[in-house]
Chains A and B, each alone.
Chain A
Amino acid sequence: MVEVEGEVIPRKRWGAWLGPVGQSIGPILLGLVAGGILLLLTGRNPLAFYGDILKRGLFSSSGVQDSITRMAPLLLMAAGLIVAFRANIWNIGGDGQFLLAAAIVSGFGPGLVAVLPAGLGLVVLCLLAALVGALWTIIPALLKAVYGMNEVITSLMMTFVGVNLANLLIKGPFRSQKTSVPQTDVIPHDKLLPYLPGTRIHVGILFALVAVGAVYYVMTRTSFGLRLSVLGANPRAAVHVGIDVRRLTVVAFMISGAFIGLAAGVEILGVWGYVRADWNPNFGLTLFALVFLARLNALATIPLVGFYAIISMGGHYAARRAGLPDDFMLMVVGLILLFMTLTEYVAARRERRATRLVAGPKAALRPGGAHE
């Protein structure tokens, strides 16, 4: 190996600015531009449309508070997904874990907060939510750990079961006698998670930020995090170096479920106070995309989730004003994902030519040195 004699510099090409940040922001910009073109084609003014989104989602006091409130469950869920995905465990069943935890918290919530002292009741309910989420992963976790069964299939099955079980509970034992629509009893407003002083943002966002920070810390600084990374990067190496792969698989899966259950708990205890039958915010799928855009880096999910929260809070409003279907923004999100894949491809190609040598003075003397 030669001490570098010339200077090794990154190749300056149009793709060079595509650092990790560019690779996340780039697709978003491209998606927005493409969405804008679609808007133009349908005779709408894209600037007005995006302006509406920002106005509703970011630049009004209630809008920004709503967006931040929305970030809480999303960030918790992202934390849960990252723990699993880092270990190459495909926990696809987030929505099932989420809804079941939501149903159980809403079912027991009104009773518990009535008998327990205020703070304690909320703590117990949050723990209960986490526990439900964790327990709902046990079957796919064990099937994967012991029999090597593919968790994409099993956790997806458990989602179907979980979603329907949640509905059964809400329509059956947890059903409120006070309303005609099937839903649970409502936890009184003053017993819900408190707001941050001077705002209408509940404290769940703090839990979420702590959770994301903790996941980042654990993944980068602890032996547990390294074991997860080894398992995720090379499962055969994990076995070879003596990691207890079965146990780790189950533990990681359950932690993932616990965060997702907690997300549900925070959303119910912070915003709604009850659930209706057939309610399903479908956070799971969007979050998959977001955590991959963040390259499974927990801290990087914060801005991305914030961005998404703004779009989803403002998107409905803007679509309605523009006379577009409610889901127009979903299409833009879809475009963003498409561009994300393309960027990934370009980056991979670029990697092969990653560096170039600026040779020392003898480059000029070299026969054939004229090439490039």
Chain B
Amino acid sequence: MVEMTRPVAGRSGATRDLSAPVVEIRGICKAFPGVVANDDVSLAVFGGEVHCLLGENGAGKSTLMNILSGMYQPDAGSIMVDGQEVRIGSPRDALDLGIGTVYQHTTLIPVFTVLENLLLGQGRGLSMDQKGALAGLKKVAADLGVDVDPHVQAGRLALGQQQQVEIIKALWGGSRVLILDEPTSMLTPQGIVELERVLLQLKERGLAIIFITHKLHEALDVGDRVTVLRQGRVVGTLEPDTVHATPRPELQERIVGMMFGEEAAALAGVAEVRGQVTGRRARREISPEAVLELRGVSVEPQRGEVGIHDVSLIVRRGEILGVAGVDGNGQRELAEAIAGQRAIHRGDILLGGTSIRHASISARQRQGLRYVTDDRLGEGTVSSLSVAVNLVLKRIGDGPFWRRGLVREDAINECALGLVEGFDIKTPSVQTRCGTLSGGNIQKLLLARELSFEPKIVVYNKPTHGLDVKTTHVVRDRIRELAEKEYVSALLISTDLEELLDLCDRIAVLFRGRLTGVVENRVGAEWEVGRLMVGGESR
């Protein structure tokens, strides 16, 4: 890792005082139209420590990190690095200070290769030597247990792979401070373990690490210090002594209490909060009626993808069929083939018994097929349009929102207000530009759009990524309820095995574009799925 071995010695040559913070944020305020995102936030980050920043969706975590990484300028407050006040006017300044960042949403340039993207985040010129970079990349990738082709265009990678590249990029740039804004939201449990291991190594070397996540158990696995934000303010900090000495359940309870205030009580005992979803839902009768059927479907891979090959599966009425696998094993291709965004070159897809192979995307939508994409910024929303319009984006031209081609703003706004309320989307107003919402709230918007207007079958790709524990719980309940009470079937693609165990009736495993098996979700399913995920054959 380039520059990773910076000595923990101060300028004078004396050992740096580890008890002084590497980064100190004092009284930071940042307001956007209609929202105060950060209100007098102060926190200190120490070398050799992982500082977890927690808080519900829209609490202001990303905003604070964007200020530290030079993307935004604070309205008030100051930032000290190594005891000296600094002005971080641009991401360049942050890099110069040794602050590396994994942003919540990918910042890779899609038409550049992985390697070019990495070089971009490097030196000031284009003089960086490719060979050295390749070698460096290989080493970091091996540390992380990641396998990416450095010459493939970044935009072609699955989002989970893009996230891994982002992590590598940040590790290169962050020689003093590392900011990780939900770095694990698209990784598999295995990938998360590898990342945690690397973080521990970096910690040993004296880096200060800021770690944002919605998964409490992750935070507690690596965290030394915890700060909780709520509605833009710091509501509490747990010192390392407390974090290390308090038993887990008690710690979690305290954190959840800080995160959600009075609402926390309702969450006590919720599986998502405990971080130990037991899965194995009660068995229930499922009608044999097939809603969606894939027969030997193949999709040609584009460069950097694996495509899908000869995939056959059946989703029955009211059933939740999971698809497990490491991101980049054909998940996107599968979902897009079903949604109609991608042509299949062999096989057939049946919806309610009739072939939709040649049906357009909108024709499939009209038949009740929904697709919750995992790429909420890339294709799921139009960031320059309002929240309200984004909520009806798949119904442009339809009544009651349009009549004879003319927009009826009242109808749109009324519907939007209902959905914003029903799905607890935090936004200053329904007219706010969608792109300004926090990551989790954009995800809620997607779910609100797809789960209303009478779906029949929903293809979910990582439906809860970026949601806080409370919302994750609500959304999972909703998915379950839709399936059990309204017989809305689901094809649930996820990299989160726990989520699959929690929700699914059966779990299929996708490996290198092929279905390697389908497992009934019962005791021991996780072992079976885990084995299939790395390419083991089905019994």
Residue pair B362, A244 in contact (C-beta under 8 Å)? yes
Residue of B nearest to A225 (CB): B407
A5→B232 CA distance, assembly (Å): 12
Given A234-B382, A239-B379, A244-B362, also A2-B33 (CB < 8 A)? no
B123 within 8 A of A: no
A236 within 8 A of B: yes
What string of 1s and 0s marks CB contacts (under 8 Å) between A221-237 and chain B? 11110110110011011
Q: How many residues of B contact A (CB 8 A)?
A: 53
Residue of B nearest to A357 (CB): B31
Chain-B contact segment, one of A94-102, A180-188, A277-285, A363-371: A363-371
Known: A6-B36, A223-B405, A366-B27; 12 extra A-B contacts, CB below 8 A, are A2-B35, A2-B39, A2-B233, A227-B396, A230-B385, A234-B381, A237-B393, A239-B361, A242-B361, A357-B29, A357-B75, A371-B77
Residue pair B76, A233 in contact (C-beta under 8 Å)? no
Q: Which of these, A1, A240, A371, contacts B341 with CB under 8 Å?
A: A240
Q: List 18 A-B contacts (CB under 8 A).
A: A2-B39, A5-B39, A8-B32, A226-B407, A230-B382, A237-B381, A237-B382, A237-B393, A240-B379, A241-B361, A354-B32, A355-B33, A356-B31, A356-B76, A359-B29, A368-B26, A371-B27, A371-B77
Shortest CB distance B298–A (Å): 21
In the complex, what residues of B have CB within 8 A of residue A226's CB? 389, 396, 407
B413 within 8 A of A: no
A96→B428 CA distance, assembly (Å): 48
Q: Which of these, B232, B360, B371, B380, contacts A2 with CB under 8 Å?
A: B232
Residue pair B394, A236 in contact (C-beta under 8 Å)? no
| Residues of chain A in range 321-370 having any CB-CB distance to chain B below 8 Å | 352-357, 359, 362-363, 366-369
In the complex, what residues of A have CB within 8 A of residue B381's CB? 234, 237
| Residues of chain A in range 231-280 having any CB-CB distance to chain B below 8 Å | 233-234, 236-237, 239-244
A233→B379 CA distance, assembly (Å): 11
Q: Which of these, B27, B77, B371, B393, contacts A230 with CB under 8 Å?
A: B393
Residue pair B27, A241 in contact (C-beta under 8 Å)? no
Residue pair B76, A371 in contact (C-beta under 8 Å)? yes
Shortest CB distance B526–A (Å): 32
* A: contact size bracket: 35 or more
In the complex, what residues of B have CB within 8 A of residue A363's CB? 76
B373 within 8 A of A: yes
In the complex, what residues of B have CB within 8 A of residue A244's CB? 360, 362
A7→B30 CA distance, assembly (Å): 12
Residue pair B35, A224 in contact (C-beta under 8 Å)? no
Q: Which 3 A-B pairs have the closest CB atoms?
A: A242-B362, A223-B397, A357-B31
A6→B34 CA distance, assembly (Å): 11
Residue pair A234, B426 in contact (C-beta under 8 Å)? no
A372 within 8 A of B: yes
| Residues of chain B in range 199-252 having any CB-CB distance to chain A below 8 Å | 231-233
A115 within 8 A of B: no
A4 within 8 A of B: yes
Residue pair A242, B27 in contact (C-beta under 8 Å)? no
Count A-B pairs with CB separation below 8 Å.
Answer: 134
Residue pair B373, A4 in contact (C-beta under 8 Å)? no
B406 within 8 A of A: yes
Which residues does A use to contact B, with CB under 8 Å?
A: 1-2, 4-6, 8, 221-224, 226-227, 229-230, 233-234, 236-237, 239-244, 352-357, 359, 362-363, 366-369, 371-372
Residue pair A240, B407 in contact (C-beta under 8 Å)? no
Q: Which of these, B36, B72, B76, B232, contacts A369 with CB under 8 Å?
A: B76
B383 within 8 A of A: yes
Given A234-B379, A356-B31, also A241-B394 (CB < 8 A)? yes
Residue of B nearest to A222 (CB): B405
Q: Which of these, B33, B34, B36, B365, contacts A242 with CB under 8 Å?
A: B365
In the complex, what residues of B have CB within 8 A of residue A362's CB? 40
A233→B339 CA distance, assembly (Å): 22
In the complex, what residues of A have CB within 8 A of residue B36's CB? 1-2, 4-6, 8, 357
A366→B75 CA distance, assembly (Å): 14
Max chain A CB contacts within 10 Å: which of B73, B360, B361, B406?
B361
Residue pair A1, B361 in contact (C-beta under 8 Å)? no
In the complex, what residues of A have CB within 8 A of residue B394's CB? 241-242
In the complex, what residues of A have CB within 8 A of residue B78's CB? 368, 371
A230→B40 CA distance, assembly (Å): 38
A242→B398 CA distance, assembly (Å): 13
A233→B384 CA distance, assembly (Å): 7
Residue pair B232, A1 in contact (C-beta under 8 Å)? yes
Residue pair B77, A8 in contact (C-beta under 8 Å)? no
Residue of B nearest to A224 (CB): B405
In the complex, what residues of B have CB within 8 A of residue A354's CB? 32-33
Residue pair B73, A241 in contact (C-beta under 8 Å)? no
A226→B408 CA distance, assembly (Å): 13
Residue of B nearest to A218 (CB): B405
A13→B428 CA distance, assembly (Å): 25
Shortest CB distance B449–A (Å): 9
Residue pair A243, B30 in contact (C-beta under 8 Å)? no
B301 within 8 A of A: no
A28→B537 CA distance, assembly (Å): 70
B402 within 8 A of A: yes
Residue pair B385, A355 in contact (C-beta under 8 Å)? no
B100 within 8 A of A: no
Residue pair B34, A8 in contact (C-beta under 8 Å)? yes
In the complex, what residues of A have CB within 8 A of residue B405's CB? 222-224
Residue of B nearest to A355 (CB): B31
A353→B378 CA distance, assembly (Å): 25
A243→B395 CA distance, assembly (Å): 10
What string of 1s and 0s marks CB contacts (under 8 Å) between B353-391 and chain A? 000000011101100000101010011111111000100
A227→B364 CA distance, assembly (Å): 18
In the complex, what residues of A have CB within 8 A of residue B339's CB? 240
A355→B76 CA distance, assembly (Å): 11
A237→B375 CA distance, assembly (Å): 10
B279 within 8 A of A: no
Residue pair B231, A2 in contact (C-beta under 8 Å)? yes
Max chain B CB contacts within 10 Å: which of A227, A241, A353, A368?
A241
In the complex, what residues of B have CB within 8 A of residue A237's CB? 378-382, 393
Shortest CB distance B386–A (Å): 11
Residue pair A8, B379 in contact (C-beta under 8 Å)? no
Residue pair A233, B382 in contact (C-beta under 8 Å)? yes
A352→B35 CA distance, assembly (Å): 15
Residue pair A1, B72 in contact (C-beta under 8 Å)? no
In the complex, what residues of A have CB within 8 A of residue B375's CB? 236
Residue pair B73, A353 in contact (C-beta under 8 Å)? yes
B58 within 8 A of A: yes
In the complex, what residues of B have CB within 8 A of residue A355's CB? 31-33, 75
A226→B78 CA distance, assembly (Å): 43
Residue pair B406, A222 in contact (C-beta under 8 Å)? yes
Given A2-B231, A359-B29, A371-B27, also A239-B341 (CB < 8 A)? yes
A356→B40 CA distance, assembly (Å): 13
Residue of A nearest to B409 (CB): A221
Residue pair B31, A4 in contact (C-beta under 8 Å)? yes
In the complex, what residues of B have CB within 8 A of residue A243's CB? 362, 396
| Residues of chain B in range 394-442 having any CB-CB distance to chain A below 8 Å | 394, 396-397, 402, 405-407, 426, 428
Shortest CB distance B446–A (Å): 10
In the complex, what residues of A have CB within 8 A of residue B40's CB? 359, 362, 366
Residue pair A4, B34 in contact (C-beta under 8 Å)? yes
Shortest CB distance B179–A (Å): 18
Residue pair A367, B27 in contact (C-beta under 8 Å)? yes
Residue of B nearest to A230 (CB): B382
A205→B306 CA distance, assembly (Å): 58
What string of 1s and 0s marks CB contacts (under 8 Å) between B262-287 and chain A? 00000000000000000000000000
Shortest CB distance B492–A (Å): 19
